[in-house]
Amino acid sequence: MRKLQSLFIGVIAIILLLSFFDFRLNRASNASSNVLNIYNWGDYIDPDLLKQFEEEYGYKVNYETFDSNEAMEAKIKQGGTSYDITIPSEYMIQKMKKEKLLLPLDHSKIKGLENIDPRFLDQAFDKDNEYSIPYFWGTLGIVYNDKFVDGDKIKHWEDLWRPELQNNIMLIDGAREVMGLSLTTFGNSINSKNMQELQQATDKLNKLTPNVKAIVADEIKMYMANEESAVAVTFSGEAADMMGQNEHLHYVIPPEGSNLWFDNIVIPKTSENQEGAYDFINFMLRPENAKTNAEYIGYSTPNKVAMDMLPKEISEDKQFYPDDETISHLEVYKDLGPEYLQIYNDLYLEFKMFRN
């Protein structure tokens, strides 16, 4: 009898122990479902929108930042952190699709996709928007200060080689961007895989070195706003930020061509809160939120309803919302594959070393 009692007590103890662990697991699971892990570029969303999202949906947002597509991709590959949302650029979306790092989207869970300008949907890097939703778009161009440079003399990429600009140009630090602008001066594609064209572009860049004052990243905004250089090559959103701080700055998209870039929202395979990810996508697709974000960031919104809500001095500014004719001369970066990506990086490094 005592043996039976002991056995019965033992069984009850095991049941209670299992119930406790089940409770702890459910609690951890529920906690995880109330957390949304977002991995984004630095200063790339209005913080007030994140607070509003948390209050409306009851999520706790963990927000981490990266400074390059490649750094973001490496972190997703490593796993370890269950990122639910990230925002890569077009060529990286193409690459991450091949590497199976993204989850296909369930369009039945997405509300507001009709607000996006059709021009920015169904792009070659993500047909039918199977994996991504447009977030921001923009261009690569030239910023100049009218106190130091005649605007009529800064309209084309070729103008960067003018001798009067010696030690007076800042370049954004990017192999695709800098190699691309040189390729364009010869009428070649910014996605060229022709070694003769690539070497020709590098040789020409080497001749630009006397004019290059610095090759920098985010600090280019501060330098140009403080008038530490007359000219810069940078992205449209960075240009908008600079121009907001200094009325003498202007932005030009060279008519012969440049980069048209897209940053899109995706759900990486690391996601453990897909419901929250769709809530965030739908929240950002609302026109009023897209408008707020565009005004805060300065980049161009793909949300056509939000664009109609923006002040006309923004929405009708062709520097940042170029017309179809200008867009027709722009190219989107393609995933070059590891071999040619390395070639671009090596040639760009050659240019940087030649400069030193």
Q: Where are the beta strands (DSSP E) in 106-257?
A: 133-145, 169-172, 212-216, 231-235, 249-252
Strands 249-252 and 330-331: unpaired
Scanning the chain, the segments in alpha helix (DSSP H) are 2-33, 47-57, 69-78, 90-98, 175-185, 195-208, 220-225, 236-245, 274-285, 287-297, 304-309, 312-315, 324-327, 337-355
Strands 169-172 and 330-331: unpaired
Q: Read off the pLDDT band of 31 (50, 70, 90).
A: very low
Q: Which residues contact 209 (CB under 8 A, 6 or more apart)?
A: 351, 354, 355
* Residue 268 half-sphere exposure toward CB, CA atoms < 13 A: 28
Q: Read off the pLDDT band of 230 (50, 70, 90).
A: very high
Domain range list for the chain: 30-134+265-321, 138-260+330-355
Domains 30-134+265-321 and 138-260+330-355 share a fold: yes
Mean pLDDT over 65-88 rounds to 94
* Other CB atoms within 10 A of residue 186 CB: 14
Range 138-260+330-355: architecture per CATH: 3-Layer(aba) Sandwich (3.40)
Please answer whether residues 120 and 129 qualify as being in contact, where contact means their C-beta atoms are separated by less than 8 angstroms: no
What is the phi/psi pair of residue 143, to 5°?
-105, 135
Model confidence at 24: pLDDT above 50:
no
Q: Which CATH number fits the domain 30-134+265-321, given the four candidates 3.20.20.70, 2.40.50.140, 3.40.190.10, 3.40.50.2000?
A: 3.40.190.10
What is the C-alpha separation between 17 and 12, in angstroms, rounded? 9
SS3 121: coil
| pLDDT given at position 12 | 54
Q: Read off the pLDDT band of 14 (50, 70, 90).
A: low
Model confidence at 53: pLDDT above 70:
yes
Please answer whether residues 101 and 77 qualify as being in contact, where contact means their C-beta atoms are separated by less than 8 angstroms: yes
* Residues pairing with 141 in the sheet: 234
